[in-house]
């Protein structure tokens, strides 16, 4: 602010002497300020990038192993005595018999062939715990799919339990004293034998992407949450988009400018800043208590999230409708179009890219929300994949929250892997928004 | 664009049509309640879904108090069938149930849970009496060299453990624990803080004369930054105590079991007894002082309407699940003594109605 102190008389005397010492000093100071400001700005960018890299790096480091799972190959004898004979039994009776059979006995027979020295109830139980509890269902489905297996012996890859899996992945420190470990010495020696036999392998785990939730980390999958998120977002889109668009058109094109519409406008802008949990309370009060809709259902979640995204949609739509030049409207009216024709034939098509972008960004926000869903019961343990918007379901962020809260160590990597899946969808949605903007953007 | 409005109208109508024709028929068991029971209830639900022809029950983690509110709100398909609780149902909650037509409630105690105080493996070993914990963590404590009681209370002045008890090391007191909405916190306040509080004769006298003030003094946790509320996520507490050796965390026994390779639990003693580590056996026989019972509550009126309800309750208390070698026990549930379990098993079989006192 020293420039201002220069007396007025001095400024008005002749051309500026750029070479003078005082002027040079001022110029140098100016450049220095500019450099400092620029480096501060660059520093801010670098810091945010570092945070992002650290966050993503941490998630990928933890989550990469969430997509692979340890299996153990064992030779299973599908004995006809135990499972029934498909040639003599009717298909229904055979299915029933297989369903009732405890598949653990098949696994037990095979494991005891490998480790004949293991005796006693407790040790046998520990031995069987190498294999995941999901192996029973795996074997049952194998037999039902192919009854010809009965009477044969086949090498089968079964999932291991999460503890064994964590040892193989190096997440359990086996150098600690035995008492401090979940996996005991005898289990480790069995595991060593299996490894020496080349029976242990680490494979891509498709069940993580295709399965529902489970309390066993090795069986848990994100598909149920993905389907729940899809149903919820569908309801959100179908509610928020038409309502938001109508509100935006009316407010921008038809509404009179008076105190009442001003108040509405201020309220819409304020709504965009309301914490999301408040919408959850509203959803609980209106949709569950008054309208009697089912708890935990995507329809309620979708309607609640629609309330949350409405302000975003309205604000974005209004901005892009307002950005359509008045000359377009004037020209349409000049050719005899009614106000409604002006809006629907000219303004909306031209504003559509902006409206879609705003809507997709609103949807992306809805996809990442978990707080409002807490109130309406979507934070729940749900195994079955939802089949409609009325079935109980959960969504991706909630699934991440639930896994992060589980005691089992193996859920740490599942949590990070699920975050990676969520980030993939968020990036994809934002990518579509950018693409739409680029492709359809109008330059005036 | 004319098409667009048509599509929009059709979509909206279809949406609301779908929701109303859905006829919210209930064929799935719905469970709400304690986040402590949640890991056990979900494990049982999954096993139940896998081994029977019933659908897998839906389990929500709402906290014990929140769950009871939902459970007692009424009968019918829009209300849950089972409430999980990390403490016994209160008379006020049972009254609410009765008021809303939920007359017959079946109570099942499924097992015990210990609340542990733990720190990083690298931290200095310590052991506490309940009195130490009270003096370190209560908001108001008896003034030094007094036995407490009205007029003798001062805001907690202690900053290091050796000020509380000269036998403890001179480390700063820093404790991470659950927030007041948590059942774990309720139980910790009642068992540990009040347990230590009672050892002062002045406080005992106060209990007889003015129960309300006694409770306020004996269950209030200090709010000057020494006790840090870390949210309902026990995993977060486990991670934080690993990262910072100075900090002690408070959480459920199942989290200790899963992380025994990186954290250590501190032994705790009742007054006049030797300190006990929170082991399976010590919690099971009551030697470890900070342990509580876990319950589930079922609606008798829903049995026969909601398929599998009675069977699911039987599953949760079955020997296969809650027994000595059951799968819930593998996850850190401390089983009931055999005779007590048999009692609750027969309660489920006969749908015995709960009466408090």
For chain A, the structural domain boundaries read 65-205, 223-440
Q: Is residue A319 within 8 Å of A354, Cβ to Cβ?
A: yes
**Which residues from chain B sit within 8 angstroms of residue A384, using beta carbons?**
49, 55-56
Asked if pLDDT for residue B18 goes beyond 90, the answer is no
Residues 6+ apart with CB under 8 A from B96: B68, B69, B72
Backbone angles phi, psi at A169, to 5 degrees: -80, -5
Class (C level, CATH) for A223-440: mainly alpha
Name every chain A residue with its beta carbon within 8 A of the beta carbon of B255.
407
**Residue-level length of chain B:** 357
- Cβ within 8 Å of residue A5, ≥6 positions away: none
What does the pLDDT look like over B228-242, one tens digit per residue? 888 777 788 888 898
B contacts of A383 (beta carbons < 8 Å): 45-46, 49, 56
pLDDT of the residue at A154 = 86
Residue B244's CB is within 10 A of a number of other CB atoms, namely 15
Quickly state the pLDDT bin for A232 (edges 50, 70, 90): very high
Angstroms from A382 CA to nearest CA on chain B: 5
- The residue of B3, B7, B16, B19 whose CB has the most chain A CBs within 10 angstroms, and thus the best one to mutate to test that interface, is B19
Whether A287 contacts chain B with CB within 8 A: no
Residue A55 sits at φ, ψ, to 5 deg, of: -60, -50
What's the mean per-residue pLDDT of chain B?
A: 85
pLDDT digit string, tens, across residues A279-310: 989 988 888 888 888 888 999 999 999 999 99
Is the confidence at residue A327, as pLDDT, over 80? yes
Assess whether pLDDT exceeds 70 at residue B199: yes
Is pLDDT at A41 greater than 90 in this prediction?
A: yes
CB pairs under 8 A between A and B: 119
What residues of chain A lie within 8 A of the CB of B78, using their CB? 288, 292, 294-295
**pLDDT-derived band at A314, boundaries 50, 70, 90:** very high
Per-residue pLDDT reduced to its tens digit, A8-35: 555 556 777 888 888 899 999 999 999 9
Q: Which CATH superfamily is domain B25-113+293-350 in?
A: Periplasmic binding protein-like II (3.40.190.10)
Asked if residues A402 and A222 have their Cβ atoms less than 8 Å apart, the reply is: no
Which pLDDT band holds residue B24 (cuts at 50, 70, 90)? very low
Candidates A133, A173, A390; nearest CB to B261: A173
Secondary structure in 3-state letters for A69-125 = EEEEEEEEECCHHHHCCCCCCCHHHHHHHHHHCCCHHHHHHHHHHHCCCCCCHHHHH
Q: What is the mean pLDDT of residues B8-24?
A: 49
User: In the structure, what pLDDT confidence band is assigned to residue B249 with cuts at 50, 70 and 90?
Assistant: very high
Binary contact (A381, B257; C-beta < 8 A): no
Shortest CA distance to A194 belongs to which of A108, A73, A106? A73
Q: How confident is the model at residue B357 (pLDDT cuts 50, 70, 90)?
A: low
Asked if residue A422 lies in contact with residue A225, where contact means CB atoms within 8 angstroms, the answer is: no
pLDDT band at B6 (very low <50, low <70, confident <90, very high): low
What is this structure's pTM? 0.80
Angle between helices B64-71 and B91-99 (to 10 degrees): 20
Check pLDDT > 70 for residue B19: no
DSSP B61: -
Q: Is A5 touching B (CB cutoff 8 A)?
A: no
Q: How far is CA B248 from CA B125, B133, B235, in A?
A: 11, 12, 14
Task: State the Cα–Cα distance between residues B271 and A65, nearest whole angstrom.
Answer: 48
pLDDT digits (tens, 9 = 90+) for B254-311: 888 888 888 899 999 987 788 888 988 888 888 899 988 899 999 999 998 899 999 9
pLDDT tens by residue, B337-346: 888 899 999 9
**Dist CA A225 CA B241 (whole Å):** 31
Please tell me if residue B212 touches chain A, with a CB cutoff of 8 Å. no
Q: How far apart are the first and last CA of chain A?
A: 41
Q: Where are the domains of chain B?
A: 25-113+293-350, 114-291
Fold of B114-291: D-Maltodextrin-Binding Protein; domain 2 (3.40.190)
Structural contact between residues B25 and B53, judged by C-beta atoms closer than 8 angstroms: no
């Amino acid at each position: 602010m020293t420039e201002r102190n220069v007396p007025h008389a001095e400024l008005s005397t002749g051309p500026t002497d750029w070479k003078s010492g005082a002027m040079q000093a001022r110029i140098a100071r100016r450049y220095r300020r500019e450099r400092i400001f620029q480096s501060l700005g660059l520093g801010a960018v670098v810091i945010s990038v570092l945070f992002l890299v650290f966050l993503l790096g941490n998630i990928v480091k933890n989550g990469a192993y969430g997509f692979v799972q340890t299996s153990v190959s064992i030779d299973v004898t599908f004995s006809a005595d135990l499972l029934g004979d498909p040639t003599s039994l009717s298909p229904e009776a055979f299915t029933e018999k297989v369903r009732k059979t405890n598949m653990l006995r098949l696994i037990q027979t095979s494991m005891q062939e490998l480790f004949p020295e293991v005796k006693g109830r407790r040790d046998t139980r520990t031995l069987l715990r190498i294999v995941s509890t999901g192996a029973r269902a795996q074997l049952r489905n194998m037999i039902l799919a192919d009854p010809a297996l009965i009477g044969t012996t086949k090498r089968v890859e079964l999932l291991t339990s999460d503890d064994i899996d964590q040892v193989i992945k190096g997440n359990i420190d086996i150098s600690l004293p035995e008492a401090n470990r979940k996996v005991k010495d005898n289990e480790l020696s069995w595991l060593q034998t299996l490894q020496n036999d080349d029976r242990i392998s680490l494979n891509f785990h498709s069940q993580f992407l295709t399965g529902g939730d489970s309390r066993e980390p090795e069986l848990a999958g994100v598909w149920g949450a993905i389907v729940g998120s899809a149903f919820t977002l569908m309801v959100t889109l179908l509610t928020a988009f038409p309502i938001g668009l109508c509100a935006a058109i009316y407010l921008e094109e038809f509404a009179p400018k008076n105190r009442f519409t001003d108040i509405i406008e201020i309220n819409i802008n304020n709504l965009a800043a309301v914490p999301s949990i408040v919408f959850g309370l509203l959803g609980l009060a209106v949709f569950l208590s008054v309208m009697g809709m089912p708890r935990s259902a995507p329809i309620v979640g979708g309607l609640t999230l629609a309330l949350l995204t409405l302000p975003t949609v309205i604000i974005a739509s209004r901005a892009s409708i307002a950005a359509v030049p008045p000359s377009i409207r004037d020209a349409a009216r000049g050719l005899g179009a009614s106000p409604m024709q002006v809006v629907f034939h000219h303004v909306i098509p031209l504003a559509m890219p902006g409206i879609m972008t705003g809507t997709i960004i609103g949807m992306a926000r809805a996809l990442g929300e978990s707080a409002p869903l807490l109130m309406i019961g979507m934070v729940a343990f749900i195994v079955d994949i939802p089949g409609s918007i009325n079935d109980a379901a959960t969504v991706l962020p909630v699934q991440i929250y639930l896994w992060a809260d589980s005691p089992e160590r193996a859920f740490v990597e599942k949590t990070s892997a699920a975050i990676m899946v969520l980030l993939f969808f968020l990036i994809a949605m934002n990518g579509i928004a950018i693409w739409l903007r680029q492709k359809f953007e109008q330059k005036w | 664009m004319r098409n667009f409005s048509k599509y929009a109208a059709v979509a909206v109508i279809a949406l609301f049509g779908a929701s109303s024709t859905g006829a919210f028929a209930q064929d799935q068991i719905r469970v709400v309640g304690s986040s402590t029971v949640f890991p056990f209830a979900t494990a049982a639900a999954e096993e139940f879904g896998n081994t029977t022809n019933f659908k897998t029950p839906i389990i929500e983690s709402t906290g014990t108090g929140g769950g009871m509110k939902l459970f007692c709100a009424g009968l019918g398909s829009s209300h849950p069938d089972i409430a999980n609780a990390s403490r016994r149902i209160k008379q006020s909650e049972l009254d609410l149930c009765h008021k809303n037509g939920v007359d017959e409630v079946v109570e099942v105690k499924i097992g015990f849970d210990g609340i542990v105080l733990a720190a990083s493996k690298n931290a200095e070993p310590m052991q506490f009496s309940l009195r130490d914990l009270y003096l370190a963590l209560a908001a108001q404590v008896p003034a030094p060299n007094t036995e407490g009681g009205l007029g003798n209370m001062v805001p907690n002045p202690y900053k290091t453990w050796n000020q509380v008890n000269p036998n403890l090391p001179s480390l700063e007191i820093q404790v991470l624990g659950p927030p007041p909405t948590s059942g774990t916190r309720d139980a910790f306040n009642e068992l540990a803080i009040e347990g230590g509080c009672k050892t002062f004769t002045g406080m005992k006298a106060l209990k007889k004369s003015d129960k309300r003030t006694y409770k306020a003094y004996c269950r209030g946790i200090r709010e000057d930054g020494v006790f840090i509320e870390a949210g309902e996520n026990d995993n977060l507490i486990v991670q934080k105590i690993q990262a910072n050796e100075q900090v002690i965390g408070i959480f459920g026994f199942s989290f200790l079991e899963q992380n025994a390779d990186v954290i250590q639990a501190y032994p705790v003693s009742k007054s006049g007894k030797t300190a006990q580590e929170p082991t399976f056996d010590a919690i099971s026989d009551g030697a470890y002082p900070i342990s509580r019972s876990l319950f589930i509550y079922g609606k008798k009126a829903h049995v026969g309407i909601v398929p599998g309800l009675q069977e699911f309750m039987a599953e949760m208390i079955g020997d296969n699940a809650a027994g000595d070698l059951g799968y819930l026990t593998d996850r850190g549930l401390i089983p009931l003594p055999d005779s007590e379990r048999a009692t609750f098993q027969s309660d489920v079989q006969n749908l015995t109605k709960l009466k408090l006192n």
